[in-house]
């Protein structure tokens, strides 16, 4: 192990980061060393991974339905303890200035509110097909327009959004599948085969119908159905916030405020945007509606979860959404060898109803 001291603090380097330093120098001493290194001289690869709280879905005044400028919205998130945030305005790439310690990245909500889609929406509902493109190229800042659609089919329209995300150099995330029932499990499975890796399990906006109803499965049931069908999808939780310091005024005039810090991800990565992006694509994160975990390990066919608080219940979930084991917290482990199914994931429930979801591990 090598230690690097920076900014008056000593950081311990382990694993590949330690190897990066020690193994690249044949004369590296066997004993631990402590090096004084100026902050700007330390490559990011040498900084250890931590758990970083992030927001992947938020709107600013570059969306027609929010009045808060990006700088103020991001200040709100920084004040609420977030480590990073991606701005996702409707068909507009907002590339915010970094302010303070919080990392920020450009994004966009690729918003297809179309007249017609196939299969058609249920009576009274609309074709509202939304995909976030996260970490898009800063050079694409500004208004985005879709090319003409070749088909009204839902899978084709979503595929058009995935292509747009790729063209913007972003990471695609299918938003609120139960909002006007935009996407079902079959569609999630199809899109996963086309490269989709992220979807919103818990969009904490008021009208996203995460729980489903008598006729519609919950978003979590959609996930299990897609995973059982072979999809390789990771689940995120988001705010989809539109109101910040103006929320009390919105509520006071009798309207619904879409506020923040209710759904988020916690990513295991070094504190830089490329590492966070890579960790999301690798499933090195958990989704949360407020419940915090100390750690998640998804290695060697075993899933180990440790909650940050006692009094939680840890449920291990497998094929078809079956709960395979329920354990009292704060810590529990289960292995793939203990289940015949193709995948294993965990859900942690707090007594107050808040939850956290790990990403699955798969039998290769």
Applying CB under 5 A, the residues found at the interface with Zn ion are 109, 130, 175, 240
CB-nearer residue toward Zn ion: 131 or 356:
131
**At closest approach, how far in Å is the CB of 263 from Zn ion?**
12
Judged by phi (left if over 0) then psi (alpha if -120 to 50, else beta), residue 165 lies in: alpha
Which residue from 94, 121, 120, 114 is spatially nearest to 105, judged by alpha carbons? Answer: 94
**Closest approach of Zn ion to the CB of residue 131, in Å:** 9
Q: Whose Cβ is closer to Zn ion: residue 209's or residue 339's?
A: 209
User: Which residue's CB comes closest to Zn ion?
Assistant: 130
Beta carbon nearer to Zn ion, 51 or 199: 199
Q: Least distance (Å) from Zn ion to the CB of residue 70?
A: 14
Here the contacts of 227-232 (C-beta below 8 Å, separation 24 or greater) are 227/319, 227/342, 227/343, 227/345, 227/360, 228/319, 228/320, 228/321, 228/341, 228/342, 228/343, 229/185, 229/186, 229/189, 230/189, 230/192, 230/342, 231/188, 231/189, 231/192, 231/193, 232/192, 232/197, 232/362
Nearer to Zn ion, 224 or 240 (CB): 240
Given the structure tokens 């199914």, which residue do they identify?
A: 341
CB of 182 to Zn ion, least distance (A): 9
Check if the beta carbon of residue 195 is closer than 8 Å to that of residue 164.
Answer: no
Question: Whole-number minimum distance, CB 8 to Zn ion, in Å?
Answer: 40
Nearer to Zn ion, 176 or 268 (CB): 176
Comparison of 113 and 251: residue with beta carbon closer to Zn ion? 113
Place of tokens 């480590």: 83
Q: How far is the CB of 59 from Zn ion (least distance, A)?
A: 6
């Amino acid at each position: 192990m090598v230690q690097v001291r920076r900014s008056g603090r000593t950081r311990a380097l382990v694993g590949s980061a330690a190897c990066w330093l020690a193994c690249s120098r044949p004369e590296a001493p066997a004993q631990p060393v402590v090096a004084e290194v100026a902050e700007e001289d330390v490559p990011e690869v040498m900084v250890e991974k931590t758990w970083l709280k992030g927001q992947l879905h938020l709107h600013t005044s570059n969306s027609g339905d929010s009045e808060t400028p990006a700088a103020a919205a991001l200040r709100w998130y920084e004040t609420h303890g977030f480590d990073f945030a991606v701005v996702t305005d409707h068909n507009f790439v907002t590339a915010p200035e970094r302010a303070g310690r919080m990392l920020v990245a450009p994004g966009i909500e690729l918003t297809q509110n179309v007249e017609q889609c196939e299969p058609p929406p249920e009576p009274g509902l609309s074709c509202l097909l939304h995909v976030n493109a996260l970490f898009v190229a800063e050079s694409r800042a500004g208004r985005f327009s879709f090319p003409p659609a070749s088909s009204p089919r839902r899978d084709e329209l979503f595929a058009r959004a995935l292509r747009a995300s790729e063209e913007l150099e972003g990471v695609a995330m299918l938003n609120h599948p139960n909002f006007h029932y935009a996407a079902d499990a079959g569609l999630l499975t199809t899109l996963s085969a086309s490269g989709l890796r992220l979807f919103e399990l818990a969009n904490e906006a008021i009208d996203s119908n995460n729980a489903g109803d008598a006729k519609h499965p919950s978003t979590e049931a959609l996930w299990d159905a897609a995973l059982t069908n072979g999809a390789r999808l990771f689940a995120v939780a988001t705010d989809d916030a539109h109101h910040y310091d103006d929320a009390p005024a919105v509520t006071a005039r009798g309207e619904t405020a879409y506020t923040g810090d209710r759904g988020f991800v916690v990513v295991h990565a070094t504190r830089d945007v490329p590492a966070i992006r890579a960790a999301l694509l690798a499933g090195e994160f958990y989704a949360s509606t407020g419940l915090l975990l100390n750690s998640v390990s998804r290695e060697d066919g075993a899933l180990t979860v440790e909650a940050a608080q006692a009094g939680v219940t840890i449920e291990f979930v497998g094929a078809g959404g079956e709960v395979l084991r329920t354990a009292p917290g704060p810590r529990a482990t289960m292995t793939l060898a203990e289940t015949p199914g193709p995948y294993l994931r965990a859900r942690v429930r707090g007594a107050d109803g808040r939850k956290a979801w790990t990403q699955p591990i798969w039998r290769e």
